[in-house]
Structure 1
């Protein structure tokens, strides 16, 4: 159950192709071999209201949160985070060329007792052998 969410400042519209960035993160997550295709969710959420650092209008951010189910080692989670952060950092080279951009990533484990799920995608993909 990997859920990857990017919250981003609205001033990045037009500067970052978030559809491409979501597809890149999706690929990196699957390339780890730790997650089943039918479980992967990657999304970007635009933040209209924000206040960053010294409040310059040029200041922008992407805050990435990756929630994963229990059962993966700390080493596997670290390796996954390193791979995602490296790929996203490379994708965002133009933003890092300015003194107005911040990127963060946090990985959290989902408590299985306090998590409910129902997924109709898994059976379809499993039947296809994906």
Structure 2
């Protein structure tokens, strides 16, 4: 943990660089290693090709980011992280918002119970 999941409609895939967006969002978490251990950060994007938006009359698009984290971070840290991530999201899509209908959203999902995890990546970052 944490995981960043970007869902986006396929009608914008040729107008934006989703790989760059993932890199930017990932960096927001990497820049906070005392809050989010680097070895646990995962980012992924899911292109959606079955969706319906509003009344379906326009070629509307959306991008929804989910940040999933384990519990235990302060409210201040969560708020600052989400605000920075949303600023990145708005900036990345600013050119697209000027020429088409697009909805952006970000949600924070905090696990109430421990998650089950196993791996050896964290060891690389312990020193």
TM-score of the superposition, structure 2-length normalised?
0.92
Partner of 2:108: 107
Gaps of 5+ in 2: none
The structure with more helix, counted as a fraction of residues: 1
1:6 has 2:1 as partner: no
Gaps of 5+ in 1: none
Instruction: Find the aligned partners of 1:98 and 1:56 in 2 and give their Cα distance.
Output: 16
Instruction: Find the aligned partners of 1:18 and 1:56 in 2 and give their Cα distance.
Output: 25
Instruction: Find the aligned partners of 2:100 and 2:93 in 1 and give their Cα distance.
Output: 13
Trace 1:1-130 onto structure 2 (pairs within 5 A).
1-33=1-33, 34-113=35-114, 115-126=115-126, 129=127
**2:21–2:89 CA contact under 8 A, matched in 1:** yes
Instruction: Find the aligned partners of 2:88 and 2:29 in 1 and give their Cα distance.
Output: 11
Alignment size in residue pairs: 126
User: How large is the Cα RMSD of the aligned pairs?
Assistant: 1.4
Instruction: Find the aligned partners of 2:96 and 2:111 in 1 and give their Cα distance.
Output: 31
Moved beyond 3 Å, runs of 4+: none
Instruction: Find the aligned partners of 1:37 and 1:9 in 2 and give their Cα distance.
Output: 29
Instruction: Find the aligned partners of 1:56 and 1:3 in 2 and give their Cα distance.
Output: 34
Which deviations, in whole Å up to 9, do the C-alpha atoms of 1:75-115 show, x marking residues without a partner? Answer: 111110000000111111112113410000000111334x2
